[in-house]
Structure 1
Amino acid sequence: MKWRRMPLGPIGTNAYIISNQQKECLIIDPGSEPSKVFGYIKENQLKPIAILLTHAHYDHIGAVDDVRDMYEIPVYIHKKEQSWLMDPALNLSINLPFGEPIRLKPAEEIISSEGLMSIGSFTFEIFETPGHSPGSISIYFKDENLVFSGDALFEGSIGRTDLPGGNYDVLMKSIHDKLLTLPEETLVLSGHGGETTIQQEMDSNPFLNGF
């Protein structure tokens, strides 16, 4: 399995494209600049089969309809944020100084619980990791030692909790119970910034020190 981190948009939100030997690919959080997503997929002759959203803030969903329509693929989102796709007040795009308010079509697939999920020949585990937002999820590929943490855990930091629906205590519990229990060598691929590992964050993340 291969993955590509692709910072997109004015605040550099990370989209990820995950591909396998069959050239199938999953697209995580296409937040902006769909032409960059299209270009990478064309260059590598990939076949998109789904879009997965770690949560529904504007910077993670802005290019969803463009990508969905281009490849005619389903969108997956947690049930607690399914309505956010259609509501600029909830996805926080209503008063942005750039761009138009985001009103997307509903998601085709709703994630209602944690556990194993298979799409095409990909198998992974969904963790509910709320705190940054109520429906935040992390996507764990055990065999690859990879977790896509959305805006829960970053290199040297954690997600904001001052936005509507955010909760610091809930976020810290999510990180401690769901992410820090993973093998220390697990690579953490976040919604912003560079890669890190569980061990690195346990050792040096100032927000987790002593938790």
Structure 2
Amino acid sequence: MLKVRTYPLGPIQTNCYIIKDGEGQCLIVDPGEEGSRIIEEIVKMNGKPLAILLTHAHFDHIGAVDQVRDHFSIPVYIHREEQYWLMNPDLNGSSRYPGLPLISNKAADHFLQEGQLKIGPFQFEARHTPGHSPGSVSFIFEDAHFAIVGDTLFKQSIGRTDLTGGDTNTLLNSIEGKLMSLPNDFIIYPGHGPSTTVGDERESNPFLK
């Protein structure tokens, strides 16, 4: 049985997720800020991190990548279309906001492609869901009936499309084709805000009517 823990981090309260199995092995998704807190939480739960997965490379999702990666000596996975965003503050958006630190990480270790992935005991699917950003990816855990979708879909909202590489029609096609095709009871864990379900969004999300 997988357990998903949610940690809203940093000034934008970006959701970092830790997915843990019964043996303590875990995946870290979007360590956006507060790297020391993420490390502390994993140590507290006796977690054994295997990898960092990135839904996309906007600054608020990648701010603690190197701190967490280096502490646990684990690889980072990102979609190839955003491989340079990790290192480039203009692409990841951190240069747009005076007063916030410029984010520049080391290169990713692996590039995500659509299809099934296996990392240790974790088996899941990566689905390319561009629109919010060109390399946005959603992680589908079919057996556990949940998906981590980054800033593609929110509770009664969708991701913004006015940043580099964003496109509204592409985003809506990604949601319809890659997320709304999931069963109604699938839990959706977004990049910000509370979780929801596919059925609730199909029924009440005003952007999907």
Equivalent-residue separation in structure 2 for 1:96 and 1:24 (angstroms): 36
**Cα distance, 1:95 vs structure 2:** 3.0
Aligned residue for 1:149? 149
Equivalent-residue separation in structure 2 for 1:140 and 1:58 (angstroms): 23
SS at match of 2:91: coil
Aligned residue for 1:71? 72
Give CA-to-partner distance per residue, 1:42-94, whole Å, 9 cap, x none.
11100111000000000000000000000000000000000100100000011
**Cα distance, 1:171 vs structure 2:** 0.2
Percent identity between matched residues is 52
Equivalent-residue separation in structure 1 for 2:133 and 2:199 (angstroms): 25
Q: Which moved more, 1:92-101 or 1:125-134?
A: 92-101
Equivalent-residue separation in structure 2 for 1:47 and 1:31 (angstroms): 19
Give CA-to-partner distance per residue, 1:147-198, whole Å, 9 cap, x none.
0010000001000001110000000000000000000000000000001000
Aligned residue for 1:57? 58
Q: TM-score, normalised to structure 1's length?
A: 0.97
Contact 1:9 1:32 in 2 (8 A): yes
- The 5 A counterparts of 1:1-150 are 1-111=2-112, 113-150=113-150
Instruction: In structure 1, list runs of 5 or more residues that go unmatched.
Output: none
- Number of aligned residues: 208
Equivalent-residue separation in structure 2 for 1:99 and 1:130 (angstroms): 26
SS at match of 1:102: coil
Give CA-to-partner distance per residue, 1:126-155, whole Å, 9 cap, x none.
000000000000000000000001000000
Q: Which moved more, 1:130-139 or 1:17-26?
A: 17-26
Q: TM-score, normalised to structure 2's length?
A: 0.98
**Cα distance, 1:97 vs structure 2:** 2.6
SS at match of 1:189: strand
AA of the residue aligned to 2:107: P
Equivalent-residue separation in structure 2 for 1:67 and 1:8 (angstroms): 14
Contact 1:95 1:101 in 2 (8 A): no
Aligned residue for 1:201? 201
**Cα distance, 1:38 vs structure 2:** 1.2
SS at match of 2:165: coil
Equivalent-residue separation in structure 2 for 1:160 and 1:61 (angstroms): 18
AA of the residue aligned to 1:50: A
Structure 1 stretches of at least 4 aligned residues deviating more than 2 Å after TM superposition: none
Contact 1:53 1:76 in 2 (8 A): yes
